[in-house]
Amino acid sequence: MTVTVAKMKDKIVEIVRVAETVMFSEDKGWIFICIDFEKPVRKQAQFKWVKARETKFEWVREFHF
């Protein structure tokens, strides 16, 4: 299992998925992130899609379990 985390605007987020296309937009390049992945119950976490070209990460790291 691998978890990818990144620092974005002074917040640590989990990168859940990267997609070229999504059903809700004709724009290309999207990243699905979990904003508060540290919550113990995954159902309570907040998720959102962000445009890849408009998003800048300070760093990205992968953790292997």
**Which pLDDT tens digit goes with each residue over 54-65?**
999 999 999 998
Q: Say whether pLDDT at 47 is over 80.
A: yes
45-64 burial by CB neighbour count: b if 16+ within 10 A, else e?
eeeeeeeeeeeeeeeeeeee
Residue 40's pLDDT is: 77
Can you give the pTM of this predicted structure?
Answer: 0.86
